[in-house]
Structure 1
Amino acid sequence: MPMEDHKLLYLQNLLQDNQNYYLMDYIQTVVSWEDEARNQYDRQIVLNSYQFAEVILLDGIFMIQFVLMCWDRKRRLPNDPIFSNQLMLRAVYRDMALLENQIPFFIVQRLFKMAFKTHQQNMPELLELVGWFFKYVTRKEKLPAWVMESEVKHFVHAISLSFFPPGMEAPNKRHEEHKEMKFPPSATELVAAGVKLRKRESESLLDIKFENGVLDMPCLILTDSVEHYFRNIIAFEQCYWKRRYLTEYMTFMHHLVDAPRDAELLIDKGIIENWLSNKEAAAQVINAFGKEHSMSRDHHFYSLSDELIKHCQRPHNKWKATFKRDYCSSPWVVISVIAAGLLLLLTIAQTVFSALSLK
């Protein structure tokens, strides 16, 4: 109930600042969208037209006002309890990304245009604001151009689209079907086979490259908040979306991080930035995401997994890695190996010369 009162306060603030429309104008307009809005939900909503319009209007205006207040501090209300309490602020941020809290994006967008576009020319597009609002999760300052032109269902859908591979132009591109499933080796197994793990600077978590024995991966930041956002995006991908890029990324990571020692390897290389309690917690979070989902036959990382498996199956890669690990781990070890080699050569030469002198 306190939050419902706060929504009314934000609505009152909007009506005072934007006097082109009265409250009844907003209510009547939202009522006219009722059938279109109800069709966006997967179950019947037991509210009459006025009650439904009231809920949609309050939630829609609150989402708009909150995003705008985060974007522009001057819009914040004096002594606003949300912005004066970091715990409450973080809680509202999280609520904005809960899948069950979403309302149809077309409603929020129409309310936004109704409230602001008629007289504030410098106002960004709503999707631009959404992209900025969730940049900590998406790792992008702004959403790709093709996302801006997409038919977005709601905020979580917009975040999900931002995880599509770099250079992606359309969300329905499919990969070639494969006959068998391939799962990548763990980080420990890769290192044992001579693969070098290296942090890659990129805005996209999916921008992973494997060339010349080097696996380049963008940094995955693990915090409680990121886990929360990822869980809702993955839930949306599983239920509604044709392509599941974040799901596929976390499934790939699940196989890469088979145990805490794998997480420790990736943390040491800067590929995982761990803000959780310890490396065991990092491994548990990644494994929890991966275990819940299977790899589809058109998995985005199928080809990459196949390359990594083939590299690990070549015996000379393991022999070379073992030699480097056991005999080239430090300058003193290298010197000892060279000395031992020279001693062995001298011993062989002495034996040969002794045998020749006897003849």
Structure 2
Amino acid sequence: MKEHKWRYMTSFLQQTNIPQESKECLERCVDAIYELCGEARQCYSETIKYNENELAKIMLLDGCFILELFVRCHANVEVNEDGQPDPVRKSAWMITALQHDLGLLENQIPFFILVRLYEIVKPRATKNYSVASLALKFFDPLSRKPRPEEKDQLGVNLYQLIKHIL
């Protein structure tokens, strides 16, 4: 999975063919993760054993992987940038396993980390979806309930109240 995570992170951060833009995107994401590390630590009941650099690396890698996975599943992309079949997407059992793994409490990263990473990369992306709507679409096959509306009757964005994927 580590190889897939690195490949997905690279794909997520390279929304253009201009290397300088991809480098700047990576730098902005790294800066954002470091800014949010302290707040992220407070989201866990147990003490996080990783130092700031290790935690930032995990949050960046996992966050980008999750977001790229959501985007690929939403857009039904089944090939890599090189035109070869994506090993993650071509395997139904792997998607099911990822849906299960991402639903486990111990695998949660704070939702605000995902939102911040997506906000940085989103201007480079062609579609305009919220992280919450992408997550709901990814987990839709497991849900027995209708997908909630994004806004309530007063226009309040309910998806902004989300703390984690669960």
Alignment TM class, shorter chain as reference: 0.7 to 0.9
What's 1:43 paired with?
46
Task: Report which of the two has the higher share of strand.
Answer: 1
What's 1:31 paired with?
34
Is 1:71 the counterpart of 2:74 in the alignment? yes
CA contact (8 A) 1:68 1:75 kept: no
- Return structure 1 stretches of 4+ with deviation > 6 angstroms: none
Distance 1:13 1:93, change over 3 A: same
Q: Deviations over 1:4-31 (max 9, x none)?
A: 1211111111222253534333222211
Q: Within 5 Å, which residues of 2 pair with 1:150-161? A: 150-156=160-166
Q: Tell me, what secondary structure is at the counterpart of 2:161?
A: coil
Q: Tell me, what secondary structure is at the counterpart of 1:155?
A: coil
What's 2:62 paired with?
59
Is 1:133 the counterpart of 2:143 in the alignment? no
Q: Distance in 2 between matches of 1:84 and 1:149?
A: 30
Is 1:110 the counterpart of 2:116 in the alignment? yes
Q: Distance in 2 between matches of 1:150 and 1:17?
A: 25
Unaligned runs of 5+ in 1: 157-359
Q: Tell me, what secondary structure is at the counterpart of 2:120?
A: helix
Which AA in structure 2 matches 1:15? Answer: L
CA contact (8 A) 1:11 1:61 kept: yes
TM-score normalised over the length of structure 2: 0.81
What's 1:279 paired with?
none
Q: Within 5 Å, which residues of 2 pair with 1:156-305? A: 156=166
Structure 1 residue 76 displacement after superposition: 4.4
What's 1:344 paired with?
none
Which AA in structure 2 matches 1:59? Answer: D
What's 1:4 paired with?
2
What's 1:80 paired with?
86
Distance 1:64 1:138, change over 3 A: farther
Structure 1 residue 104 displacement after superposition: 0.4
Between Structure 1 and Structure 2, whose CA radius of gyration is higher? 1
Greater relative CO (CA pairs within 8 A, separation 6+)? 2
Q: Tell me, what secondary structure is at the counterpart of 2:14?
A: helix
Structure 1 residue 149 displacement after superposition: 4.5
Structure 1 residue 46 displacement after superposition: 1.3
Q: Distance in 1 between matches of 2:117 and 2:45?
A: 23
Q: Distance in 1 between matches of 2:144 and 2:34?
A: 34
What's 1:15 paired with?
13
Structure 1 residue 134 displacement after superposition: 2.2
CA RMSD in angstroms comes to 2.1
Q: Deviations over 1:149-185 (max 9, x none)?
A: 55211010xxxxxxxxxxxxxxxxxxxxxxxxxxxxx
What's 1:148 paired with?
158
Q: Deviations over 1:266-302 (max 9, x none)?
A: xxxxxxxxxxxxxxxxxxxxxxxxxxxxxxxxxxxxx
Which AA in structure 2 matches 1:27? Answer: V
Which AA in structure 2 matches 1:96? Answer: L
Distance 1:129 1:79, change over 3 A: same
Which AA in structure 1 matches 2:33? Answer: V
Aligned identity (percent) is 27
Which AA in structure 2 matches 1:151? Answer: L
CA contact (8 A) 1:127 1:148 kept: no
